[in-house]
């Protein structure tokens, strides 16, 4: 039977996943640069990151951060530095053209896309804030906290996979348009600028 707290979590997690953000940008860029399979791989990395966040919430990291707020600040700064590094690379070294579909050029892109998705998610303090502060609100009093938190994290991971897989497939349909001259470097610079701004936002705005 679908409990009221679980139904509320489904709605909240789905809406938060669908709101465009860093994870969305990472999946779209992977799908446009390396094809829909890379976008799906990035989504898988993000989903694994969600499970890791769920595990940390389940086994007491929230209490640690309450006792030692500097831990969250350190995570925030690491996340900001990572975003700035990704953005600066795109701004300073945009790709001149769209990647071809040659087998040699695609080698290793699936693993690297999954890695980018995971690292981006695990270093995103906004995701951490969701799991460490909001997730406990959906665990009913008297429930087994660890198992419930992991179950909710797995649910969120499934939502992430479904939504971002759909985005990756849809994005694959516009790949021919991306071969037009000037499109790819413009997209890279726009994406890079957004990542740098997100990094600045993380350090400028206290949670």
Spatial CA neighbour of 171 closest among 43, 33, 36: 36
Cα–Cα distance, 51 to 151 (Å, whole number): 9
Spatial CA neighbour of 90 closest among 202, 198, 197, 186: 186
Cβ atoms of 160 and 43 closer than 8 Å: yes
| pLDDT, one tens digit for every residue, the chain (207 residues) | 457 778 878 887 887 788 777 888 888 888 877 888 999 999 999 999 988 888 877 776 556 555 666 766 776 677 677 668 877 887 887 766 554 444 434 445 788 899 989 998 888 777 877 777 667 666 655 555 567 778 888 899 999 999 999 999 988 777 777 667 777 678 778 877 877 886 776 677 554
């Amino acid at each position: 039977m679908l409990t009221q707290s679980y139904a509320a979590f489904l709605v909240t997690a789905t809406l938060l996943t669908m709101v465009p953000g860093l994870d969305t940008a990472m999946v779209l860029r992977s799908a446009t640069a390396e094809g829909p399979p890379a976008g799906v791989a990035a989504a898988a990395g993000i989903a694994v990151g969600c499970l890791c966040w769920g595990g940390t919430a389940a086994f007491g990291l929230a209490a640690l951060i309450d006792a030692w707020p500097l831990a969250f600040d350190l995570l925030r700064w690491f996340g900001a530095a990572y975003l700035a590094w990704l953005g600066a690379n795109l701004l300073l070294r945009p790709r001149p053209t769209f990647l071809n579909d040659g087998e040699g050029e695609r080698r290793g892109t699936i693993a690297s896309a999954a890695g980018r998705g995971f690292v981006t998610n695990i270093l995103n303090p906004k995701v951490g804030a969701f799991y460490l502060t909001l997730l406990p609100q959906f665990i009913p009093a008297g429930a087994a906290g660890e198992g419930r938190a992991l179950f909710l994290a797995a649910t969120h991971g499934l939502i992430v996979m479904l939504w971002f897989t759909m985005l990756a497939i849809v994005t694959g349909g516009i790949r021919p348009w991306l071969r037009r001259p000037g499109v790819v470097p413009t997209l890279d610079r726009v994406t890079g600028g957004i990542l740098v701004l997100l990094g600045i936002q993380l350090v400028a705005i206290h949670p």
